[in-house]
Structure 1
Amino acid sequence: MTETIQRADTVEALRSRAHWYRLLAGAFAEEPQSGFLRELRGEQCLADLAELGVDFDDDFLGHDEEMLTEELAAEYTMLFIAPGGFPPVESVRLQGGYRQSAVNETRDAYAAEGFAVQSGRFATFEDHLSVEMQFIAALLEGQAEALVAGNENEARRIGKVVKRFWVKHLGRWSRGFAQIVEGATEHSFYREMARLLEAFTLAELEVLGLDVADEDGARLRAPKPDAVTRPMQCGGAAT
């Protein structure tokens, strides 16, 4: 009986963590849609978020849904799309441009577990924060299912995949990215989601027993891609 209870607690914890991964993925995936905002402003969700220290201002809680959707669409564009913004994309944050090596690395990681990126309303990069978070959420749900089925070897295998992905990807840039968003945004929704992302990252690294350096560092300017810094080879070898 004790073993069964412990396993149930572990399964519940895995599913709970997966839920928060998906919530954060939704916050940064695109301009928040009305359905997502409606759920987030629900009484139970606000209570759960408050327990984690999330404290929205009236600009999120007091505005009607249509106005809030428009305001957050403008803020999303300013933060993540407009020139000078901070796209939530690993390649951009760590390698200075879109479609750097992180794209292939994350795509390979997804494929190894039978996952593939499906575009939503817009084209999505494999190393987008929301995709990386959803991948871990799916892994945690799979780990929980393995425990329920009594397949502890599979559960351990998935746990190793989760740790490896954090070391190679999320752990290297999510904290610095969160810090720069918190400092740049003028809306409490993104301020609180950024704070939650940083706190959640620290909590996950502790749960996973990992020590991963933050290579993002909340830099205003990402490093230039290798293709930009390499000497030109046109017309002969560079000297």
Structure 2
Amino acid sequence: MTSGIKEGKKVGQNGMQNPTNEKAVKISPKDAPAVDRALCRSKLYLLVSWGYLYPEDEEFLDYLQSGEFVEDGKTALEGLKKELKGIGGEEALVRLDALAGQFDAIEAWISSEGENWNLQDLRDEHRRVFSNVIALDCPPYETLFGNDHVFGQSYVMGDIAGFYSAFGLQLSPDIHERLDHLSVELEFMHYLAYKESYAILHDGAEKLKTVIEAEKKFVKEHIGRWVPLFSGMLIRKADYGFYKILADFTSNWMAFDIAFLGVAPQPYSETDYRPATYSNPEGQSFECGAQDQGNELSLLMSEVGADAFLDKESGASGQSGNA
């Protein structure tokens, strides 16, 4: 299945980005719950990430229609709930129950409608909700939230790029999206959670701490701020069908992981959503980011000024990452 980010050539089955070449390892009883929690969170982040990508081929639709999407999701939810051990408190438990209900809703949608869909039907539904250009009533791009000036966008884009580069990641050439697209950011969290499970078994306490801190920081400063508002906008825009259920799922999943990680993002509100504008010397203005320009990292970073931002940061600190 198409994957949005990559780490060199270390690509695993179904597009998963494996931190290293894995070897069989015996998991101690002490570590097993934490490993299971990390792997289950990683899987759920990956599932919701796949859901937002434009369906280039039939693979995702086949995954839905076969029942494997729901089966994999429910298995991950059950494993997470089993090993939760009070982390995240009552909020986490409530959200997990809601997520189970949303997998039931996806299963019901497949039985009643989705099983008869072909690839064009899914593409048409994606276009209905997200359109062929950036839909400003529910844009799946972080930099369109909370940044009422183009230079605010460049700062945020540079920070996102810094997170990716700190872990040796870059956009895959197989995906036609920006690095601030929701699917890409969610897949980054999938990668971090997967890397957390690996660090528990192989890397020691210091590297594990680095990965967990990166997860918390990325949720607190990025997806935990804009995804709750985006989910509400998407619920209204989609109104029905698969993407309405996916929006409900995303809202509950984000609330769960915020509680699980114990972070307190400052979420954007409706009044914070203002597509960025730029005023030239004559006082004219235009909307920024209304047309997707493809997926080349250099083009995107140049487009929003993030390359200049990173050059400046690199010159000041000698570092390119934030984690």
TM-score (norm 1): 0.82
2:211 — aligned with what?
Answer: 158
Q: Which amino acid letter does the alignment assign opposite residue 7 of structure 1?
A: D
2:126 — aligned with what?
Answer: 76
Q: Which amino acid letter does the alignment assign opposite residue 145 of structure 2?
A: R
User: Where does 1:46-125 land on structure 2 (aligned, <5 Å)?
Assistant: 46-47=70-71, 48-49=73-74, 52-54=100-102, 55-56=105-106, 60-63=110-113, 67-82=117-132, 84-95=136-147, 100-122=154-176, 124-125=177-178
> How far is the alpha carbon of 1:72 from its aligned partner?
2.5
Matched, 1:34 2:58: yes
Contact 1:177 1:218 (8 Å CA) reproduced: no
- Partners in 1 of 2:139 and 2:167 — Cα distance? 26
When structure 1 is superposed on structure 2, of 149-158 and 189-198 the one drifting more is: 149-158
Pair 29,218 (structure 1): closer, same or farther in 2 beyond 3 Å: farther
> How far is the alpha carbon of 1:45 from its aligned partner?
3.8
> How far is the alpha carbon of 1:117 from its aligned partner?
1.2
Matched, 1:211 2:269: no
Pair 233,44 (structure 1): closer, same or farther in 2 beyond 3 Å: closer
Q: Which amino acid letter does the alignment assign opposite residue 42 of structure 2?
A: A
TM-score (norm 2): 0.63
Matched, 1:170 2:223: yes
Residue by residue, what CA displacement relative to the aligned partner does 1:77-135 show, whole Å, maximum 9, x if unpaired?
A: 1222355542200012333688643222111111011111113242x211111111111
Q: Which amino acid letter does the alignment assign opposite residue 126 of structure 2?
A: Y
Sequence identity, in percent?
A: 19
**Structure 2 counterpart SS, 1:227:** strand
Pair 119,79 (structure 1): closer, same or farther in 2 beyond 3 Å: farther
- Partners in 2 of 1:70 and 1:147 — Cα distance? 43
User: Where does 1:180-191 land on structure 2 (aligned, <5 Å)?
Assistant: 180-191=233-244
When structure 1 is superposed on structure 2, of 133-142 and 48-57 the one drifting more is: 48-57
When structure 1 is superposed on structure 2, of 8-17 and 76-85 the one drifting more is: 76-85
Q: Which amino acid letter does the alignment assign opposite residue 164 of structure 2?
A: Y
Contact 1:88 1:128 (8 Å CA) reproduced: yes
Matched, 1:222 2:273: yes
Q: Which amino acid letter does the alignment assign opposite residue 59 of structure 2?
A: G
Q: Which amino acid letter does the alignment assign opposite residue 236 of structure 2?
A: G
> How far is the alpha carbon of 1:44 from its aligned partner?
5.1
- Partners in 1 of 2:124 and 2:226 — Cα distance? 24
Matched length: 227
Q: Which amino acid letter does the alignment assign opposite residue 206 of structure 2?
A: N
Pair 29,97 (structure 1): closer, same or farther in 2 beyond 3 Å: farther
1:179 to 232, 243, 252: 232
Consecutive unaligned residues of structure 2, counting only runs of 5 or more, are 1-26, 75-97, 284-323
> Whose helix proportion is higher, 1 or 2?
1
User: Where does 1:189-208 land on structure 2 (aligned, <5 Å)?
Assistant: 189-208=242-261
Pair 12,74 (structure 1): closer, same or farther in 2 beyond 3 Å: same
